[in-house]
Amino acid sequence: MNTLIAPSILTADFGNLHTVIEMINNSEADWVHLDIMDGVFVPNLSFGFPVIDSISKISGKPMDAHLMVVEPDNYIEKLQKLGVTLMTVHYEACPHLHRTIQSIKKAGMKAGVALNPHTPVTLLEEIIGDLDLVLIMSVNPGFGGQTFIESSCAKVAKLKALIESKNASALIEVDGGVNLETGKRLVESGANVLVAGNFVLASTDPIKTIAQLKTL
């Protein structure tokens, strides 16, 4: 399977968002990654439903929504109506994770679970077979442009082993500090999807940068 690339628009110039989405449309990117923050689960706010609605009207790529929020169940119906393909919630924000995952799937979206850097993959043993995706945070969630946490590669390898041991089919996505060097190591460890924000958007040639990530 070729590596999937999901550029994050978190660090985009929102006054020029149409141009950013058109760049992603014209690139080899597979998804557009939406980082949705509420200022409670993480100490930052990003963007809300009006921005997602605008993106949905111009994006030619599936929308991959990563919810860094408390009570993510409240967002399921709205995100489905906005055309989101994959909704990822945080393990740490879901006291009834199985119910949340089933609600996402019932709404017609694919369901993912994100793990903060301190959260072990072993906590997913009982639910891994229900997941379409697991998102490993390789930085602390809430801000773009952070330094890659080196233990993330070993964590990806542990997750890959868990998925295989359970005969599950969840994809492994990694978000945070992804570049050509860290991305290569993550793919070698078992990652299927790389989220890249600042590395792509700050590039002098974002389309070329995305193409380079695709080769990892």
Please report, for the domain that includes residue 38, its CATH number.
Answer: 3.20.20.70
**pLDDT for 144:** 63
Q: What is the pTM of this model?
A: 0.95
> Bridge-partner residues for 194, per DSSP?
5, 174
**pLDDT for 127:** 98
**Which residue among 30, 64, 132, 175 is the active-site one?**
175
Phi/psi of residue 138, nearest 5 degrees = -100, 10
> Is residue 102 very low, low, confident or very high in pLDDT (cuts 50, 70, 90)?
very high
**Which residue among 13, 30, 35, 53 is the active-site one?**
35
DSSP-derived secondary structure letter, 181: H
Average pLDDT over residues 84-89: 98
Classified as helix, coil or strand, 180 is helix
Domain that includes residue 199, residue range: 4-214
56 close to 63: Cβ distance less than 8 angstroms: yes
73 is catalytic: no
**pLDDT for 45:** 77
SS (H, E, C) 32-88: EEEEEEECCCCCCECCCHHHHHHHHHHCCCCEEEEEECCCHHHHHHHHHHCCCCEEE
Q: Structurally, how many domains does the chain consist of?
A: 1
> Is residue 145 very low, low, confident or very high in pLDDT (cuts 50, 70, 90)?
low
Q: Interior CA angle at 159 toward 28 and 182, to 5°?
A: 45
53 is catalytic: no
Q: Is the pLDDT of residue 13 over 90?
A: no
120 close to 153: Cβ distance less than 8 angstroms: no
